[in-house]
Every structure is written in C-alpha cells, then in structure tokens.
Amino acid sequence: MRSTVPTGETMRHHWLAFTSNRRFHQAPKLVSKAEGIFYHTPQGHKLYDSLSGLWCTPLGHGNRQISEAISHQLSQLDYAPAFNVSHPLAFQLSEQIAGMAPGDLNHVLYCNSGSEAADTALKLARAYWRARGKPEKTKFIGRAKGYHGVNFGGISVGGIGPNRKVYGQTLDAYHLPHTWLTENRFSRGLPQEGDYLADALLQILEVQDASNIAAVMVEPMAGSGGVIVPSSGYLKRLRTLCDQHDILLIFDEVITGFGRMGTVFGADYFAVQPDMLTCAKALTNGIMPMGAVITSRDIYQTMMDQPGDDFMIEFPHGYTYSAHPLACAAAMASLEQLNQPSLMEQVRSLSQVFEDAIHDLKGLPLVEDIRNIGLAGAIQIQSDPAHPTKRASEISALCWDKEVYVRFGGNNLSFAPPFICSKQDIHEIFSRVADAIQQYARQQG
C-alpha cells in the first residue's frame, strides 16, 4: 500500500501520542522515509535525526543486518505463544543480553516497551519481597524529574508532574530530589556537586520506614527530564544506602542501555550494579517494539525456589508478545553490532566532539544551561513563566525548518545522535540549532 500525504478528512482520525494534537494540525510534521542519520519528509526535505528517533535508533535507519534478520525470521516463525511455549531465539537472545549485562544480572524477562519494563520490574520487586516473607515491603521510591514511561507503576515512581496530574490516585511512591543543581550549570560531563543528594533517601525512610519499601528506581542519567547527569558518587551512595536498608535498586536503562554513555550500560559507566535493570529502545534499534527486565541471580532464584508444586507459575505476569520472534531477531542483530568494542570506542570518541559542539552554544540568548554525557545532551532554554514549554517548542519548530529534527521536553532541547554519525554531522546539527536559537531570540526582540 502506498502512503500519501494525509489531508483534511484523513487527518481527523489519528490521535497522536504525547502531542498537542491541536498544534500538530496547525503545522503537521510528517516523515515518510528514513536512511542512516536522516529523515525525509513527503515534501522532499531531508532532516538530520538529532535524537535517534526517540533515543532508540543508535545504529541509524535502514540497518541492513537487522532488516535481513527480521525477514529471515518472518520466513521461519512469525509468532510463537509466549506462555508455556517458547522458541530457540528467545534463549539465544537472553544469553546474549546476560553476557552484556553487568555482574550477576543474568535473567531476562521480556515485554514490549520501556513502560512495560518499568511496571514489570516494580511488580517483580513486590513479588520478590513476598517470596522472601516480607509482604509489607510494597512502596516505591523514585526521583523528581524521573521518567519511567506511562503505565501506572511508571507514572507513580516517575517524577514528572504533568504526566501524573490528570490520573488521580497512583501507587504509593515517594521521590528523591532531582540531581539538577544551579551550581552545576554548564558542567561538561559529570557535574562536581551532588553526591549528598542520595542521602535524601534517609529522610524518606525516617517517615516511611525501610520495612515498607520494596525498591528505589532511578535512571542512571535522567534522559527525558533533560539529560540530568548525577555527580560521580551519587549512585554509589544510593547503592550503599539501599544495601544498608534492604531495599532493591532498579536502574531504568531504557535510554542509557546499549551504549548511549559510551559503555554498554549506565551501570558500567558508574560502576554500580543494580538488582534489576530495565531496557528497551536500542535493544532492537527501535525497529521492533521490545523491552526487557534483567534481574540478579538472587531475584530469579528466590522466585524459582518458592514453595509450591511444579504447576505453580512463579511470576504471574507476561504479555502476548513477550519475546516475540521478530523482535528477538531484531534484537540479536542489533546487539551483535552494539556489542562491538570498536563501536563503543567510536561513541566515546564522538562524545568528545559532541561535548565541545553542544557547549559552543553557551552564551547564546535564552540558553540557561547545557548538559552532556556520552552521546546525549540537552540545552535548557529559559522558560516563559506563563508557558514553560513554549520557547523550547518554538525553537524546535524552527530547527525543523532548518532541516534538523530536534525534540523538546519541558524547557529542554534534547540530543542523542546516532552512533554512526560523523564529527561533521555533529557540528552541522549544532550550527543549525544555534541559528534557530538566535533567530528565535531576534524574533522575540
């Protein structure tokens, strides 16, 4: 079926996710083709993809190895029941992921997205404590500005107010402060200040008591919140406190997983091992929907060792499309490439260029902070007090006109270019973004 540019009546039926649909209809942004690090529009424009889609296509678009793997799998087995039956590729993929994950994170549960991975991990944390004879450990601790997707668990633990406010009651969750500090503005890479922010956990425990807390869930680097990077000792401190108080630590690595920080996981970057790690996005290079929770040996073994007969389901949870054969094929082909040391080396070397290029925008009007780590970064735009997201949204629209796709979230412009881009591409992206910011500032007088 050929796609045509939708107009009038056709436009009425599609309800866009996480989008101001009213605004979209005023100036629809459509892409109809993608290759490498570019999107093409139906109008014939070719745009840099400065966020690897939604942080999910680090190998760029049109990766042959992945599409061939999917086609081959399609010709063999298009679907396998996910419950009581499985298929060989699911086991191979789990072995591959276990080999890449840090320490004893060796057991993999599949789902179809980062949101499902978050909720799966939270449910597993509760089930684990019940299996350990501590059923009262049910509450969760997240962090302000944290994003763990849109399901009920994720929005409860997540710390982005607008994502929660229209949904009424959520799960019992408490929040650590975010790790953005004024004194760290314009830090290059890891900021200096902020290890002490982990101690806020103790204040929460003083009121809630560790005996009620199942898990702390944080992103190693808060991506959607605007690439907020913690200081170097923060996560280590959080790990120590969780150990001292018998609380599970879950890293949401949906953005940081599989190379974004120049190491396979954010856990590797900070040398901190969580009890569970969630991932999605780059796992399949964004080509097939897939998420996963990787758990420690202790969690897996505790669940397997529960008393009960052989017919007992150890963890009553799963999705029709868990470990879908086509997603497994995409993930195998994607991870084969992402696991190449030379690719990680390339990310680390591009990160330096990226850091210099993004920080060159310091001093432009309206730019109030710039942050970066690995191949991820954000430019924080001074908010218009009446409309906190307006300026970033309008600058991102100007970037589109300058043929760069730039995502805004809150008052941040976020960047996570594909690992396959060149140094020149990075410079070109930020030169166009700088033009857009300057043009916007001029228009505002």
Beta-carbon contacts of 252 under 8 Å, excluding residues fewer than 6 positions away, are: 114, 117, 118, 121, 146, 147, 148, 217, 218, 219, 278
Specify the residue, 6 or 177, whose C-beta has the smaller distance to ligand PLP: 177
Please state, in angstroms and rounded to a whole number, the distance separating the CA atoms of residues 105 and 139.
23
Report the nearest approach of ligand PLP to the CB of residue 55 (Å).
6
Say if CB 235 and CB 271 are below 8 A apart: no
Beta-carbon contacts of 371 under 8 Å, excluding residues fewer than 6 positions away, are: 187, 191, 226, 227, 228, 229, 377, 378, 380
Report the nearest approach of ligand PLP to the CB of residue 432 (Å).
24
- Which stretch of DSSP H or E encloses residue 367? strand 367-373
251 binds ligand PLP (CB under 6 A): no
The region of 31-39, 107-115, 414-422, 425-433 touching ligand PLP under the rule CB under 6 A is: 107-115
Q: Which of 184, 253, 244 lies closest to 218, judged by CA?
A: 253
Specify the residue, 254 or 303, whose C-beta has the smaller distance to ligand PLP: 254
Question: Which residue from 37, 66, 118, 267 is in contact with ligand PLP, where contact means CB under 6 A?
Answer: 118
Please state, in angstroms and rounded to a whole number, the distance separating the CA atoms of residues 300 and 414.
36
Report the nearest approach of ligand PLP to the CB of residue 125 (Å).
16
Question: Which residue from 149, 226, 410, 418 is in contact with ligand PLP, where contact means CB under 6 A?
Answer: 149
Q: Residue 408's beta-bridge partner residues?
A: 413
The region of 194-202, 219-227, 229-237, 394-402 touching ligand PLP under the rule CB under 6 A is: 219-227
254 binds ligand PLP (CB under 6 A): yes
Specify the residue, 102 or 114, whose C-beta has the smaller distance to ligand PLP: 114
Q: Which residue has the tokens 């470990």?
A: 323
Question: Which residue from 114, 226, 266, 418 is in contact with ligand PLP, where contact means CB under 6 A?
Answer: 114
Locate 174 and state its tokens.
Answer: 């408490």
Question: Which residue from 110, 129, 147, 270 is in contact with ligand PLP, where contact means CB under 6 A?
Answer: 147
Report the nearest approach of ligand PLP to the CB of residue 223 (Å).
5
259 binds ligand PLP (CB under 6 A): no
Question: Which residue from 155, 205, 261, 280 is in contact with ligand PLP, where contact means CB under 6 A?
Answer: 280
Report the nearest approach of ligand PLP to the CB of residue 67 (Å).
21
Report the nearest approach of ligand PLP to the CB of residue 215 (Å).
15
Specify the residue, 147 or 174, whose C-beta has the smaller distance to ligand PLP: 147
371 binds ligand PLP (CB under 6 A): no
Beta-carbon contacts of 128 under 8 Å, excluding residues fewer than 6 positions away, are: 214, 248, 299, 302, 303
Please state, in angstroms and rounded to a whole number, the distance separating the CA atoms of residues 282 and 73.
19
DSSP string, 188-216: -SS-SS-GGGGGHHHHHHHHH-GGGEEEE
Q: Which of 93, 108, 140 lies closest to 296, judged by CA?
A: 108
Locate 297 and state its tokens.
Answer: 């040996």
Specify the residue, 140 or 440, whose C-beta has the smaller distance to ligand PLP: 140
113 binds ligand PLP (CB under 6 A): yes
Interface contacts to ligand PLP, rule CB under 6 A: 113-115, 118, 147-149, 219, 223-224, 252, 254-255, 280
